[in-house]
Structure 1
Amino acid sequence: MKNVVGFGHASVRIDDPKLVVVLATGGTIAQDGARTATIGVETLLQLSGIDREVECLQLMQVTSPNIRPEHWLVLAEQVAIVAARPDVSGVVITHGTDTLEETAFFLDLTYRGTKPIVIVGAMRPSHSLESDGPLNLRHAIMLARSPEARNRGVLTVLNARVQAARDVTKRHSVDVDAFDSPNIGDVGAIENDKPRVAAPLDALPHFLLPSALPPIPVIYAYAGQEPETLSFLASARPPGLVFAGTGGGSIPDAILPTVQRAAQEGTIVVRSSRTGAGAVARNAEVDDDANGFVAAGTLNPQKARVLLMLCVAAGFDTRRTQEMFAKCSGATEFSTTGATR
Structure 2
Amino acid sequence: MKKVVLITTGGTIASKPKESSGKLDSGAMSGEELAELCDLPKGIDVEIDSAIQKPSIHLTGDDWILLKDRIEKHFENPNVDGVVVTHGTDTLEETAYFFDLTIADERPVVVTGSQRSIADLGSDVYINLRHAIYSASHPDLRNCGTVVVFNERIFAARYVKKEHASNIQGFNAFGFGYLGIIDNDDVYLFQKPINRENYQVNRSLPRVDIVKCHIESDGVVLDALAKAGSKGIIIEGVGRGQVTPTMMPAIKRCIEQGIYVVITTSSEEGSVYPTYDYPGSAHNLHNEQVVLGRDFDSKKARVRLSVQLAAKENVYF
Verify same fold: TM over 0.5. yes
CA distance in 1, matches of 2:229, 2:37: 48
Matched, 1:272 2:264: yes
Q: Distance in 2 between matches of 1:259 and 1:283?
A: 20
Aligned to 2:21: none
Name the CA distance, whole Å, in 2 between partners of 1:133 and 1:233. 39
Q: Paired residue for 1:321? A: 315
In structure 2, the CA distance between the partners of 1:234 and 1:147, relative to structure 1 (3 Å rule), is closer
- Whether the aligned pair in 2 keeps the contact of 1:237 and 1:267 (CA below 8 Å) is no
From 92, 97, 117, the equivalent of 2:109 is 117
CA distance, structure 1, for counterparts of residue 188 and residue 178 of structure 2:
11
User: Do residues 291 (structure 1) and 291 (structure 2) align?
Assistant: no
Q: CA RMSD in A?
A: 1.5
- Count of equivalent residues: 304
**Structure 1 partner of 2:306:** 309
Aligned partner (choices 119, 124, 141) of residue 149 of structure 1: 141
Residue in structure 2 matched with residue 189 of structure 1 by the alignment = 181
Query: Gaps spanning 5+ residues in structure 1: where?
Result: 1-16, 326-341
Contact 2:207 2:229 in 1 (8 A): no
One of 9, 15, 27 as aligned partner of 1:31: 15
Out of 37, 48, 51, the position equivalent to 2:38 is 48
CA distance in 1, matches of 2:171, 2:38: 21
Q: What is the rounded CA distance, in whole Å, between the counterparts of 2:299 and 2:36 in structure 1?
A: 34
1:87-236 correspondence to structure 2 within 5 Å: 87-236=79-228
What amino acid is aligned across from residue 112 of structure 2 in structure 1? Answer: V
Q: 1:239 to 1:131 in 2, by over 3 A?
A: same
Q: What is the alpha-carbon distance in structure 2 between the residues aligned to residue 282 and residue 93 of structure 1? A: 39
- SS of equivalent to 2:300: helix
* Mapped contact 2:211–2:221 kept (Cα < 8 A): no
CA apart distance, 1:41: 1.6
Cα displacement (A) at 1:315: 2.6
Report the Cα distance in structure 2 between the residues aligned to 1:169 and 1:109, rounded to whole angstroms.
16
Report the counterpart of residue 65 of structure 1 in structure 2.
57
Identity of aligned residues (%): 32
Q: 1:74 to 1:189 in 2, by over 3 A?
A: same
| Superposed displacement of residue 278, structure 1 | 2.3
SS of the aligned residue for 2:68 comes to: helix
Distance change in 2, residues 1:174/1:259 (3 Å): same
Following superposition, the deviation at residue 254 of structure 1 comes to 0.9
SS at match of 2:128: helix
Tell whether the 8 Å contact from 2:240 to 2:282 is kept in structure 1 after alignment. no
Structure 2 unaligned spans of 5+: 18-23
Q: Is the 8 A contact 1:218 1:244 kept in 2?
A: yes
Contact 1:171 1:178 in 2 (8 A): yes
> Does 1:253 pair with 2:245?
yes
Say whether the 8 Å CA contact 1:237–1:262 is kept in structure 2: no
Q: Is the 8 A contact 1:233 1:262 kept in 2?
A: no
* CA deviation vs aligned residue, 1:221-280 (integer Å, no higher than 9, x gap): 112212334330452342211001122221111111111221122111001122333222
* Contact 1:29–1:122 (8 Å) recurs in 2: yes
Deviation at 1:29, TM superposition (A): 0.1
Deviation at 1:286, TM superposition (A): 1.6
